[in-house]
Amino acid sequence: MSADELEQLLLVQEHDTARDRLRHRRASLPERAELDAQHARRRALAAQAAEVRARRDAVLADERRLDDEARTLGTHAEEMNTRLYSGTINSPRELQAMQADIEMLQRRRSELEDRELEVMESREELDTELAGLETGVGEADAAIERLGGAVAGAEAEIDAELAVEDSTWNELAAKIPSTLLADYQRRRAQNKGAGAARLVGTSCTACHLSIPSTEAEQIRRAAGSEVAYCDNCGAILVP
Ligand SMILES: [Zn+2]
């Protein structure tokens, strides 16, 4: 092992740190959290809208049924009225009975129309509620589209930076003996970040803890001819 190779390893570590930072930034984009929140908002609003729409449709069907019934009664009453004044019926008793039937039909029609009005009012309230929910869904859709674009844009930017970091990393790593690189990568994985660190005085720049001064002295004397490790975090120490 040589001091140069260990210096090279520190550069690899620098670029690994940069890549970790970029990956972390990519995974924790604030726009993505906002996007998830908008998706959840849209789901809740759409479910609410579906429930209100079903209620509105039921009330509307009721309204139409009452309207049909009122019309039918109205038509029936008109027909009887026409017959009443057609002059074809002469019996006063029959005329009186018809008159009573017509009045009864008109009364029932008027009752149906009153109910239809009440039903219409509650249908209109549901229409208003539904329109509000649909507006909310539309707003969420617009936010989702905008945030989706922002996330894609931020990801593309980070990916471009990562591609540069990756190629630099590959160039640097190619100059390092494969056993040393594998050792570094194993330690980096265990340490969740640092596989190699500069030894400054007696302290490791990865974990910021100290090693015994005799050990630090020995590492400095060896000057990279052998690989030394931090007692605390296990990183490869570079004098
Ligand atoms: Zn350490």
Ligand 1 centre to CA of 194 (Å) is 8
Ligand 1 centre to CA of 231 (Å) is 7
Ligand 1 centre to CA of 34 (Å) is 38
Ligand 1 centre to CA of 207 (Å) is 4
Ligand 1 centre to CA of 143 (Å) is 46
pLDDT at 214 over 90: yes
Ligand 1 centre to CA of 15 (Å) is 18
* Nearest CA-CA partner of 162 in 10, 25, 7: 25
Ligand 1 centre to CA of 170 (Å) is 25
Ligand 1 centre to CA of 14 (Å) is 15
Ligand 1 centre to CA of 2 (Å) is 21
Residue 90 pLDDT class (50, 70, 90 cuts): confident
Ligand 1 centre to CA of 185 (Å) is 15
Ligand 1 centre to CA of 209 (Å) is 6
Place of tokens 């490869």: 236
Enter the pTM of the model.
Answer: 0.71
Q: What is the pLDDT of residue 147?
A: 97
Q: What is the pLDDT of residues 49-69, one digit of tens each?
A: 999 999 999 999 999 999 999
Counting Cα atoms < 13 Å in the Cβ hemisphere of 8 gives 18
Average pLDDT, the chain: 95
Residue 13 identity (one-letter amino acid): Q
Q: What is the pLDDT of residue 2?
A: 87
Dihedral pair phi/psi, residue 238, rounded to 5°: -110, 120
H, E, C per residue of 68-130: HHHHHHHHHHHHHHHHHCCCCCCCHHHHHHHHHHHHHHHHHHHHHHHHHHHHHHHHHHHHHHH
Q: What is the pLDDT of residue 191?
A: 87
Q: What is the pLDDT of residues 127-163, one digit of tens each?
A: 999 999 999 999 999 999 999 999 999 999 999 999 9
Ligand 1 centre to CA of 184 (Å) is 13
- In the chain, DSSP finds a helix count (H) and a strand count (E) of 5, 4
Q: At what angle do helices 178-191 and 3-27 cross, to 10 degrees?
A: 40
